[in-house]
Chains A and B, each alone.
Chain A
Amino acid sequence: MVAKKIRTVTDVICPFCGTLCDDLEVDIDIKEEKVIEVRNGCQIGTKKYFASNPSDHRYDKPLIKEKGSFKEVSWDEAIDKAANILIKAKRPLLYGFSSTECEAQGKGVELAEILGSILDNTASVCHGPSLLAIQDVGAPTSTLGEYKNRADLIIFWGSNPVHAHPRHLSRYSDFIRGYFRKDGRNDRFIVVVDPRNTHTAQIADIHVQINPSEDYELINAIRAILRGVEIDADEISGVPIEKVKELVETMKSCNFGVIFFGMGLTQTLSHHRNIDAAICLVRELNDHTKFLLTPMRGHYNVAGANQVFSWQTGYSYSIDFSRGYPRYNPGEFSSVDVLMRDEIDASLIVASDPASNFPAASVKNMFKYPLIVIEPHHTPTSVNADIILPPAIAGIECEGTAYRMDSVPLRLRKVKEAPGECLTDKEILEKLIEAVKKKKGE
């Protein structure tokens, strides 16, 4: 009998975006423990699996920067130095957590509490405003399966799933056949609200081309028209009033509508006020028909980070432990704001690349002080770090729990072994907690 050379793992959960596709099949070369084929994944998810193979871009041993270049060290030495940096700091920042699993996130909260640090996840720079709005006015929402089976009007507002959530359309919202939507795409009406004629807009039934940063006006105009107010204007936010009225009629006459919203609402000038207005609109639409909304979460487990932080501290992001108990105040304790005020004197970054994703002025301040990263790949953050702790990639090289964008928890699968001396994020954080406790005499 010929020995098997390939191991196939099925029903793999893709750890890339908030869609958390759960039907991937991954082939592993048994001898070399490498990914050689990924089926069913999108372009980005597939790339993530291939990028987990050992390469020039992948760290497999702990590294410490000495005189400008990295030196390989033992785990004990790296953890010891990292713990020293964190203990010495008066106001350390723990940031990231959205591309790792929930158990590791829980350990991050524990470490933050012991250190009295600031704790934040990547929602801070993406859907933080959505969380603020949901805390203000609640959110009528549902799981993605309901949309798949029932929704006949899908509105993508400020989101471009063709690029950012490539399989969302075919799994949940557009082409997929559902129990009450037997003819798939033909049974659904797709609307895209975006300043650009995005690739999603190009396959939609209506594209509402809105002026940039004027979503708030349009949402409130729709609310007014819905209440029967006659608006004395030819256009709202660059959209002809007739088209706005047509959109309102479409919304009122559907059986089951949903708004999927993205960064187009959260990262423009009105931030959480856009989402406030969108949630109120959806609430008012429920006087006429069934309507819901769901944020298009980016990182695969950013929803999980919000869940874990919430159940352990009471708050979903932007948390300060400096007084020994958690305090919450986005704008004051959020990562970019504390960095802009130059308050942070050491950072521990877990599974994130803030140097690429934060505005330049805040990155400049982060680089002034010691920087520790738990990061598998070469990134602009890691190459400028002082200590690099290489993890196994969650969802590829270790198991764990992740929350989909609709807050459904799914169990990530391990498909292969991690290269070199990599430990899981959870193990690394446990070692850090142990070292910090020991040094503090606890």
Chain B
Amino acid sequence: MSLNNLILITCRTINQGVALEGGKNTKENVRAAGICAFDSEDFKKLDCLVGTPVKVITDHGEVIVYSTISEEGPHPGIIFIPMGPWANQVVNPDSQACGTPTYKGMKAGVEVIQSGKVLDAVGLISLLKEA
């Protein structure tokens, strides 16, 4: 299943904060920041179990993350990825000449994937080196 016309915002979470201090190449970091939180009604439309990997696609890239239901809902039409390497694959690098990229408010689509897996932070970023 897939969803379109969503808005992606990236934000801090305490788990992401703890994970980035505790070791960026750990599984805790993947579980904390390699996730996409959905509004519960939106998530029903995806027709999958919590934790199923999904591909998030924006005009600026795509990334595979674990799906989860937001504790901070309801926020229909808005998806949320914690700040970090996964979110930064799909954010808008345009700073509108002020220096700060537009990390919030990208148009996004999401699809449940049949193959592919969620990479850890180092694995994901190292792909950029090889590219």
Whether A359 and B25, one on each chain, are in contact in the complex, defined by CB atoms closer than 8 angstroms, is no
Whether B17 and A272, one on each chain, are in contact in the complex, defined by CB atoms closer than 8 angstroms, is no
A interface footprint on B17-34 (CB within 8 Å = 1, 0 otherwise)? 110111111100000000
Whether B99 and A317, one on each chain, are in contact in the complex, defined by CB atoms closer than 8 angstroms, is yes
Distance in angstroms from B79 CB to nearest chain A CB is 11
Complex partner residue of B75 from A195, A272, A317, CB under 8 angstroms: A195
- The chain A residue sitting closest to B33, CB to CB, is A356
Q: Write out the residue numbers on chain B whose beta carbons fall within 8 Å of the beta carbon of A162.
A: 14
Q: Write out the residue numbers on chain B whose beta carbons fall within 8 Å of the beta carbon of A198.
A: 72
Whether B105 and A213, one on each chain, are in contact in the complex, defined by CB atoms closer than 8 angstroms, is yes
Chain A 345-387 interface residues, beta-carbon cutoff 8 Å to B: 353, 355-364, 367, 377-381, 383-384
Interface band, chain A: 35 or more
B52, CB-defined interface residue at 8 Å: no
Complex partner residue of B88 from A330, A357, A378, A381, CB under 8 angstroms: A357
Interface centre among B72, B97, B99, B102, by most A CB within 10 Å?
B99
Q: Write out the residue numbers on chain A whose beta carbons fall within 8 Å of the beta carbon of B17.
A: 16, 43-44, 163-164
Contact (A379, B21) CB under 8 Å given A196-B80, A337-B99: no
Bound CA–CA A358/B125 (angstroms)? 11
B51, CB-defined interface residue at 8 Å: no
Bound CA–CA A357/B74 (angstroms)? 27
Q: Write out the residue numbers on chain A whose beta carbons fall within 8 Å of the beta carbon of B26.
A: 57
Q: Write out the residue numbers on chain B whose beta carbons fall within 8 Å of the beta carbon of A57.
A: 23-26
Whether A47 and B22, one on each chain, are in contact in the complex, defined by CB atoms closer than 8 angstroms, is yes
Contact (A267, B101) CB under 8 Å given A44-B21, A360-B128, A378-B23: yes
- The chain B residue sitting closest to A158, CB to CB, is B104
Whether A212 and B21, one on each chain, are in contact in the complex, defined by CB atoms closer than 8 angstroms, is no
Bound CA–CA A266/B92 (angstroms)? 14
Whether A356 and B84, one on each chain, are in contact in the complex, defined by CB atoms closer than 8 angstroms, is yes
A96, CB-defined interface residue at 8 Å: no
Whether B88 and A363, one on each chain, are in contact in the complex, defined by CB atoms closer than 8 angstroms, is yes
Whether A163 and B13, one on each chain, are in contact in the complex, defined by CB atoms closer than 8 angstroms, is yes
Whether A263 and B104, one on each chain, are in contact in the complex, defined by CB atoms closer than 8 angstroms, is yes
Whether A364 and B128, one on each chain, are in contact in the complex, defined by CB atoms closer than 8 angstroms, is yes
B7, CB-defined interface residue at 8 Å: yes
Interface centre among A55, A132, A162, A212, by most B CB within 10 Å?
A212
Distance in angstroms from A71 CB to nearest chain B CB is 19
A interface footprint on B85-108 (CB within 8 Å = 1, 0 otherwise)? 100110111011111111111000
Bound CA–CA A266/B100 (angstroms)? 8
Distance in angstroms from B61 CB to nearest chain A CB is 6
Bound CA–CA A47/B25 (angstroms)? 15
B47, CB-defined interface residue at 8 Å: no
Whether B12 and A377, one on each chain, are in contact in the complex, defined by CB atoms closer than 8 angstroms, is no
Whether B93 and A129, one on each chain, are in contact in the complex, defined by CB atoms closer than 8 angstroms, is no
Contact (A379, B24) CB under 8 Å given A197-B75, A361-B93: yes
Whether A199 and B105, one on each chain, are in contact in the complex, defined by CB atoms closer than 8 angstroms, is no
Whether A359 and B21, one on each chain, are in contact in the complex, defined by CB atoms closer than 8 angstroms, is no
B50, CB-defined interface residue at 8 Å: no
